[in-house]
Amino acid sequence: MDTDGILAVVLAEYQALRDEMRDKFAFHLQIYSIYTPGLLIFYGWMFAHELYDLVMLIPVFSFGLVLRVLWEQRAIVEISAYIREEIEGKKIPNLVATMGDGQYQAADYRNLWMAWQHCWQQTASKNPRPRFYLYSLLVLFFLLSALPAISYNVYSLLAPLFHTPAVSMLPVGALVPVLALNCSLSIYVAHHLCSTYQGPCK
């Protein structure tokens, strides 16, 4: 295969990886568009039927979605690094250099074309972008999903101490492990979201 054919294969790989990154990000948007209204509808149905104990199931359900989001984001980061280091940093410059008259090195062709990942990293390192995506995930999966369940659980445990009417139909012995589970899941979610999205290029 000649250089032009190899370059065509590399460009096809580049396009396929970019499409995969776009599809994974589109999956994130689908989670938002489905989970957010679904959560609000569930809250409305729960309050209408006074089934307040069901709120304690939300962190468990949302935990599975968070794991999927983290997996997809990790794949995006790995694909981005491969495009930046291998395709933009090595393959394309080396191929373009062999197509010239031999007076230039491969390094002279780096960042000259299609170097989006390099540009993204360089500009982000100079001017860090606000982590709005991280904040939106924390709002959705912690503030709206986990915190109401934990607050309700704590209230149900403390209600007998303050002689207030008990709302939960679960005994105290069942509320304690549920609270421990929800707190553990919430801490895990917050920690891994922050660690996954802490870099400026992630």
pLDDT digits (tens, 9 = 90+) for 134-164: 888 899 999 999 999 999 999 998 888 887 7
Determine the pLDDT at residue 94: 75
- Does 135 map to a domain? yes
Q: Which domain range does residue 166 map to?
A: 3-196
- Does 202 map to a domain? no
pLDDT band of 198, cuts 50, 70, 90:
low
The set of long-range contacts for 94-103, using a CB threshold of 8 Å and a minimum separation of 24, is 95/3, 95/6, 95/7, 95/10, 96/7, 98/3, 99/3, 99/4, 99/7
Q: How many CB atoms lie within 10 A of CB 197?
A: 19
- Does 157 map to a domain? yes
- Does 59 map to a domain? yes
- Does 201 map to a domain? no
pLDDT tens, position by position, 45-99: 999 999 999 999 999 999 999 999 899 988 988 998 888 888 877 787 777 666 6
Structurally, the chain folds into a number of domains equal to 1
Q: How many CB atoms lie within 10 A of CB 19?
A: 10
- Does 144 map to a domain? yes
